[in-house]
Structure 1
């Protein structure tokens, strides 16, 4: 079982994100290096559709979000963590 984090962007995400991106990226790199973060990215229209990250466990997703500079500084207005059952395709 994996965990997916869905972020809903704040109304002014393009203005707010640059100031907090270096700290956000450092956190992404930390979680990726230890194998907890598997994938991350924005949707085609980040303002309207937000972004998504896939974590190895729900615990790692919850831990990431709890200290994410984008969450702490209002770059995202809301988030949701969903458990996700990965199906491998041959």
Structure 2
């Protein structure tokens, strides 16, 4: 079963701070992409609203949230992981 990871962004975080941490975050995203653990990931359309990622399973989503610099360096305000039945792709 796939899993969806939802991040909230702390309201006082500036775009400058996000971009400072982004290269480290992008390296983790690339590792997960290359290993096939993440199917899609990115921010919502309006800055500051948060982001989401779709992972191959709950364990991968949990692993990502434990090592993501956005979490470790205080960009993220809240994390929600929900298991998801993808009815289109199985």
TM-score of the superposition, structure 2-length normalised? Answer: 0.91
User: Secondary structure of the equivalent of 2:7?
Assistant: strand
What number of residue pairs does the alignment pair up?
Answer: 88
Report if aligned partners of 1:4, 1:61 keep a CA contact under 8 Å in 2: yes
Task: For structure 1, list consecutive stretches of 5 or more residues without a partner in the other structure.
Answer: none
What do you get for the CA RMSD once the two structures are aligned? 1.2
The C-alpha deviation readout for 1:53-79, integer Å capped at 9, x for no partner, is 000010011001001100011111111
Report if aligned partners of 1:13, 1:75 keep a CA contact under 8 Å in 2: no
CA distance in 1, matches of 2:14, 2:62: 22
Tell me how far 1:10 sits from its aligned partner. 1.2
TM-score of the superposition, structure 1-length normalised? Answer: 0.91
